[in-house]
A and B are shown apart, each in its own frame.
Chain A
Amino acid sequence: MTPSSSIAAPGATPAPEEHHDHHPNYLVDGTTIKSWLLTVDHKRIGLMFLFWVLLFFLVGGIFALLIRVELLTPGPTIMDAMTYNRTFTLHGLVMIFLFMIPAIPAVFGNFMLPLMLGAKDVAFPRLNLLSLYIYLAGAVLALWGMLNGGLDTGWTFYTPYSAHTTTTVAPVLFGAFIIGFSSIVTGINFIVTCHTMRAPGITWFKMPLFVWAIYATSCIQVLATPVIGLLLVLVTVENLFGFGMFDPARGGDPVLFQHLFWFYSHPAVYIMVLPSFGVMSEVVATYSRKNIFGYRAVAYSSLGIAFVGFFAWGHHMFVSGQSTFAGGLFGVLTMIVGVFTAIKVFNWVGTVYKGAVEFKTPFAYFCGFLFFTVFGGMTGIALGTVSLDVAWHDTYFVVAHFHFIMVGATIMAFLAALHYWFPKMFGRTYHEGWGLVAAALIILGFNATFIPQFLLGNNGMPRRYYEYPERFQSLNVASTAGATLLAFGFIIIAMYLTYALIYGKASGKNPWRSKGYEWLSESPPPTHNFVGPQPEFPEEPHFYVDPKKAEVPDAV
């Protein structure tokens, strides 16, 4: 664990900072409630998003635990069947629309993107604030609907059932429609920021990889979200008035609904997971103390995933009456996503190879992330095979698969980002030992929760069922035990991070000695990020050592 030899070498040249004493950091620059609620500072908006996103994560997590407790026994345990249906629907809706989609882009994207581009703010600061309030308005409407009845359709709200069920569909779907606008606005803002706000020296291929990932994510957000927006309105109208757009009794086609739904909802999983890939590219370079291996390959593969992701939606519909040819085509296109993801995985492993690894908490999450991505990704390839999917369709195998790749990878990256950028955001450090303990608990708990579900699905247990035969009980108990472990991990994190927020030691400007552009400003940064003239960035991002020497023994 020798420190990098290149640490003394001059990094990117920061602006002269002789005045920085007079510039309070963004946390204390204005302390009234109004100065927070009406701020246009991307850092404060990111922080407010962090608060809400964590709150909704708690809500979704409580629903998840209720589901797991209910499934402890084959028959009814703590709730009736209808409540169970509502609980898993709410778990899915809250976790997807209120937590995972905004989690990394709206929190860390908002906070880090301008810092990484050497800009004072995002391109449209007021729209940025608006996106927070649109998100909250949609969340309030959706949660109001959930509490006043709740819906039992599953988060996919397939027609014709969602048009006929007597539960409260309309307000929840309309809430999700409103949240979609928040996502679109954030996406537009980030794309324009990448195009117009880059500091002198930051060319397209000198943007940090997190920025590349956010850029690709924003493209998906902008292009896919309107389609589900329209669909949500159509289903709401269908539910309220019965226009029959997707009602087979009136000539409508429910499979058309599924096509339109997955046209958004499949790319949406890349909205969730691409920012995670970006976070991990930053983390792996920092803690291996090596330049990222294959920078361009990682950058291009983000765009590749975003592009191919638009043409893979049909793999959700292998048993919906799609032609065999279309099924095969979608299967192949699905596997191409795997190729791009594999490019990333190999590049990350190549970065760690012969690096001077500092095994800090974010790196522990990177290890978990690598496992979940590879394992979850490989089961995804298996599910993309039409013949195998016919047997696995709508079983717990699918549930376990998407929790591994979509949730596992995103949670790992979210926690890695939270720890890696905690000193940047708050200027304080957390307790490293507790960090590692919590990481171990969470990775272990996650495996213990979902590996039994792979087995359950393979044995034929269907998803969304309230009761199950006796023979599935032991695996279900194991899964619930794992979920409990997971919950303990999160409680520990909440405790030591809250403690660090108040009593944590001052971290200094760059505690990880990272070469990321965002660490060039103070931690926490002043209100306009950089003091003095526009900073310039002559050096490449993730530059730890001359690439020609990187694999020479003892160079790092």
Chain B
Amino acid sequence: MDISTQTTDAPPPTPQPGIAEQKRNARGATRAGDRVFLGLSRGSGILLLVIMAAIAVFLTYRAALAISRDHGNFLTTFEWNTNVIPPTFGVAVLAFGTIVSSIIAMAIAVPIAVAIALFITHYAPRRMAGPVAYVIDLLAAVPSIVYGLWGALVLVPHMTGLFGWLDDFFGWTGIFSWDGGAPRSMLTVGILLAIMILPVITNVSREVFRQVPQMHEEAALALGATRWEVVRMAVLPFGRSGVISASMLGLGRALGETMAVATVLSPDFDIHASLLNPGGGTFAQNIASKFSEATADGRDALIASGLVLFVITLLVNGAARIIIQRRAEYSGANA
């Protein structure tokens, strides 16, 4: 009896004066607090947009200064001579090197990354899939400068065998001719970049392959398809746009990678047909290696080349995101 009265009876409400006034205060406080909090959080969002805009504006401003002083043609000159007056420089070699190294990286990384994503989602024994995904995440966590150091001191010496073999059998193409120099070339850079972008492509592709409707796969299996036929007819078609955007995210990474290229490549300012002989350069690598010796004008020139890199990565990433978003809407309609 005692207990029940204790638990059921609420303490008598103490009469408080001016309830209406209190309510008004509470509402006022609510509004003020909400307004401040909304302002702060919306402000942060707007700040992010402002930063993006500021990056574009400031880079363009310094780049315009540099290009107006450029004695050569900014797009076609094969020279980077910024510490003399008048300076002469152009980004043709850098654009070529950046694109070539990224293409090599993509050609190696995309098939392997897709295969690993398939391995994790469809092939690996269930107990193994988790640890494998974890190992791939570890690959992503290693800082790029450590990749660079490893590439320069471990990967480069190991490339001589492969380079000799490529030269023996494919040297006649010109692309794979090698005159025996240190293998600090575009191909080595491309291989190192491939290792670095592998986790990016794998992780996104993995997520897409996970979303393949179970029904599609089971239907294929019920019709007697082998596992490979299931993958080819149900998984890959569903995941195609996801793999494309994953590859473009990886491409964005490869285009902007700085330190790994700066440590491995032995650069020069020319375009070479051979991927095996040292030479060439990329936007990011050129900025990192020329920066310490650059004068004020030279730094503006480097900023100008950075602007080109910024625009390229912006386009690549933007396109990748748009593809992903379109796909998300599509799969949302499906579910």
Does chain A bind chain B?
no
Binding site for A on B (CB under 8 A): none
